[in-house]
Amino acid sequence: MAAIFPTENPLSVKVVGAHVFHGQEYSTTDISLEYQFPNKWLLVSVLTRRKNDISTVVGFHVNPMSDSLESLNRFTLVGKSAPEYLILTLAACSFVFSLYVVVLCIQTKNVRAKWLWMLFILLGVGKLAVDWRTGQWTYQLFAIQIPCFTMTRPLYGSWTVGTYLPLGAILFLNHRWKMKVSGKLIDPPVRG
């Protein structure tokens, strides 16, 4: 591992990850550092375990990288596959659809507990997500989110784009349709 490190001093050193686990008998600390040298980047991970006031190094990993984690994990639309674009499009459409239905709810007369409906409309269930760097898909059947899309990333990590079924918006449209069929719906006047 020492041969991977260049002889010159690094241009920068960043802490890009730190995790601590406290158990009953011991605690472990995992620290990840990103080294920038003139011609290469290195990701170094050191894992220590502390038990009875004695610290021991239990893991040491050095991985060369082509660029910084920040650059490797930036959000970009270039070079993505059709399924990744599909998830991004579904997430955007789900969110826009929910906003449209919220506006429709605001304009609809004779709706009881309108503010609860407005909150419920933003609810999404069942998560379908993609890691934006690797293209790896994940899904969760039992997931609830307000609003019905997510774009998250851990510090220096890759973006995850997730979409949820806009169940609240669909149920409100169904409720509104039933009101219209039964004659309880008063449509707002058409402006023109």
- For 55-76, give one letter per residue: b (16+ CB within 10 A) or e: eeeeeeebeeeeebbeeebeee
pLDDT digits (tens, 9 = 90+) for 129-188: 999 888 889 999 999 888 989 998 888 888 999 999 999 999 999 988 988 888 776 665
- Max Cα distance, the chain (Å): 81
Span(s) in the chain for CATH 2.20.130 = 2-72
| Of 95, 71, 169, 85, residue with least CA distance to 132 | 85
- pLDDT for residue 142: 92
- pLDDT for residue 2: 77
Average pLDDT, the chain: 88
- pLDDT for residue 31: 92
- pLDDT for residue 187: 60
- Is residue 73 over pLDDT 60? yes
Over residues 14-36, the mean pLDDT reads 91
pTM: 0.70
Q: Which of 19-23, 84-88, 127-131, 184-188 has the lowest mean pLDDT?
A: 184-188
- pLDDT for residue 34: 92
Domain 2-72 fold? S-adenosyl-L-methionine-dependent methyltransferases (2.20.130)
Over residues 91-114, the mean pLDDT reads 90
* Confidence grade of residue 103 (pLDDT, cut at 50, 70, 90): very high
Cross-strand partners of 124:
145
